[in-house]
Amino acid sequence: MGIGGNDWVLMKTARAPSNIAVIKYWGKRDEKLILPINSSISVTLDYLFATTTVAVSPSFTSNRLWLNGKEVSMESERYKNCLQQIRSRATDVVDEKTGLVVKKEAWKDLYVHVSSRNNFPTAAGLASSAAGFACLVYALAHLMGAKETYEGEFSAIARLGSGSACRSLYGGFVKWNMGKEDSGSDSIATQIVEKDHWKDLVIIIAVVSSRQKETSSTAGMQTSVKTSPLLHHRAKAIVPKRIEQMEEAILNRDFPAFSKLTCADSNQFHATCLDTSPPIFYMNDTSRRLIGLVEKWNAQEGTPQAAYTFDAGPNAVLFAPNNEVAKSLLQRILYLFPPAADADISKYVIGDQSIMELAGIKTTQDIESLPTPIEWSGFDVPRTKGELGYLICSRPGQGAVVLDESAHLLDGATGFPA
């Protein structure tokens, strides 16, 4: 095996998480470099992630990409920009196992094969581009021995794939600084705190079945930038202060402040969508019922028990400050949104087992025996079975990591999907 022959394949596999913004990114000041009009903050999720294998071989004749097993084009600017940026930072790489050497100059002539999978159903409408691009950039950087010339440089490269991807390289809570430079070199993600800083925080994603096709984030925010005065007011006059307040709430694990800011920012983001011409609607009636559940509960208790946020779709991401409140939140959701009569509860509530166990519900019948919550009677919410698709339980998670060869998604000998 040698660099002269065609008989070698070199590959790396990485895993990168999804993230959910609690202060939203919506709107670009530069479409090509994906530079935002405001900074944003997200929490990294520990259950939803992408796994990506990247391979090079002199036998490859073009760049190829398989997403969840299906081949898609790698010709879009976003893929090309990420690949080109990592390639230009490549170094001499020695394969520990075989002693194969790939010289710095050789990388630009080698085509890549990429296979990427999400561990969550793409049909659920959960953002997968953030985890996907973060994972691609991280895996390529490790394959090609690329080094950051300044801290956060890889996040600036992931940003070229999808804005929110820059936040998925890091764990815990992450801030994407909008930056000032035209080059985008300072529009990078930085970690605010690592995942264990607020390890009691519970995150429950309510996957709301949606039949209508939604406007993509990229297209939606373009129209908002062009037509929504509220969006520009928000970016200039509201978000800068909210970013400071949110950072403080996170550092102090101040759930009431976190909840108020998270809900207010989600609602304002959706208000800018309504302020867009033509208006964009991402939330549906089920989304609004979930908002009602949290708002009424918070009002009854006099202090925030839970929080909600919605991205460019109807799915809710709900937060509880600790296990005790999460138990009550999960029971309330299950009571008000029971699964279809024939549903298997182990498929209705998935993800972090420890959170599922809190609710103490093992069968669909158990939901019916939950004590009827008298104090919820004011909700006046119809209990429609099967209104929610399913629930995913999560906590703050870690950032991107390299996996060992047992995780490879491409065949070690051929570099094609196995």
Question: How wide is the angle at C-alpha 328 spanned by C-alphas 363 and 361, nearest 5°?
Answer: 10
Local structure of 132: helix, strand or coil: helix
Span interacting with ligand DP6, options 20-28, 45-53, 80-88, 352-360, rule CB under 6 A? 20-28
- Give 90 or 174: the residue with its C-beta nearer to ligand DP6: 174
Among 57, 116, 164, 224, contact with ligand DP6 (rule: CB under 6 A): 164
Local structure of 67: helix, strand or coil: strand
Q: Work out whether 8 is an interface residue with ligand DP6 (CB under 6 A).
A: no
Contact 82, 41 (CB under 8 A): no
d(C-alpha 52, C-alpha 137), whole Å:
10
d(C-alpha 62, C-alpha 143), whole Å:
17
List beta partners, residue 55.
Answer: 11, 113
Amino acid residing at 108? K
- For the segment 97-116, give every residue that binds ligand DP6 (CB under 6 A): none
d(C-alpha 34, C-alpha 28), whole Å:
6
- Give 21 or 358: the residue with its C-beta nearer to ligand DP6: 21
- Give 312 or 409: the residue with its C-beta nearer to ligand DP6: 312
Among 38, 162, 191, 287, contact with ligand DP6 (rule: CB under 6 A): 162
Q: What is residue 277's DSSP assignment?
A: S
Among 21, 143, 280, 316, contact with ligand DP6 (rule: CB under 6 A): 21
Among 177, 218, 227, 398, contact with ligand DP6 (rule: CB under 6 A): 218
- Residue 166 has which token pair? 């820059």
Q: Work out whether 175 is an interface residue with ligand DP6 (CB under 6 A).
A: no
- For the segment 311-370, give every residue that binds ligand DP6 (CB under 6 A): 311-312
- Give 283 or 349: the residue with its C-beta nearer to ligand DP6: 283
Among 85, 210, 215, 217, contact with ligand DP6 (rule: CB under 6 A): 217
Q: Work out whether 34 is an interface residue with ligand DP6 (CB under 6 A).
A: yes
Q: Work out whether 287 is an interface residue with ligand DP6 (CB under 6 A).
A: no
Tell me the CA distances in angstroms from 232 to 14, 39, 171, 218, 312, one per residue in order.
37, 13, 30, 17, 18
CB of 284 to ligand DP6, least distance (A): 16
Q: Quick count: other Cβ atoms within 10 Å of Cβ 123?
A: 10
List beta partners, residue 203.
Answer: 319, 394
Q: Work out whether 129 is an interface residue with ligand DP6 (CB under 6 A).
A: yes
Residues at the site binding ligand DP6, with contacts judged by CB under 6 A: 21, 24-26, 34, 40, 127, 129, 162-164, 217-218, 311-312
